[in-house]
Structure 1
């Protein structure tokens, strides 16, 4: 398994003589597109994702959180919400042993959901073109999950940006509250939820709901989350009990 501490050293300790790569074929690109391309070319986590065969750099956010808090364990059942392109599912498959690659550990279960198509992944079951905030999808998940329950709910999803910060924040808060609804329906006692949100005035609504349902709630920002980004993660652990539905 890839050691995240090694990645941090290679990513974060750069020489003063290191220069940014500047792509040569930017003609016709907008200024924002040019900035994105330059940032991607010089992002150490993008390079590491290619090197480690992760589908995108976001894998390292979950790796860092799990290295510290040990949420994903062999034999666990995991729901990955907004899973496309599947990087968090890749991490979950490795850590809960859902592909059965390690005969010494129990075999877990990973199911991912997204409105988009998710390319197949050994060890994961994907519900493509499904809305994870819809009650029908919740029922599908319970039918798939062992004993209709999960140990962990993951959400790295976010709405498409509208260009209006407050509107986008409100829409993501609504998504987060839906994830709490899902957790209250499917999580086992002492289960965990990791949920992305954007910092803003409505975040307290999500935190309040989580504090009611979990014994430990904290805010984390992995190093792979860009400093200029408003994204943060709620990490809620030790789910108190399942509510009747």
Structure 2
């Protein structure tokens, strides 16, 4: 049954997926709301741009699912919330799962659920909580036939990067991706490596589980398009970008540019003409 929902996520022509993540408000962090203050307008703009999926929380999924018609992006439902994104780690850290996770996913007609697997310097207990969350979620995902996207995130030290910048170390990414696969992920949402040319090793580590690459912090149009092209050439099955879309002055244009690369094999220069 999971394949039915995977068919809604992955484009039939390219067998790839572009998921726009707009779940940042879940994490109670100053600065995360830039570009997404008015979620009704944001979701409407993204639906008009027509990515394959939009990643939302329970509280915001209604803005997508209330839109009438069959031809709209699929819902990827964020299932966990954490407090580990500031410049300093709080004394008490957590990564908590929403209750009745899969029943709520069914009620909202989600095509996929997304759960974190953090590796944070100085916070091993949060990693343990993430593993527990995934272990509880896995049998529910299998029972209800909803794909489980695991998001292995290797943090730089919080004081250096504020807890939300990509650590592009190949070895650390590979080990955490492998753990996500061992825990039963149906889809992997992983960091990009600093050296894009070695990303095929991350894809190989996933052992056939589709790898979608997260975007990280906001960069120039050419940089994000060149990175995307390199990652796709290395075997990535798609992308999950947030700030590089929602903080862009033309969210629809950058979405269509990225969709052209992901599904049509457009070059960087060809994609730039769509922005």
TM-score interval, smaller chain: 0.3 to 0.5
Q: Which one has a bigger Cα radius of gyration?
A: 1
| Bigger relative CO (Cα 8 Å, ≥ 6 apart) | 2
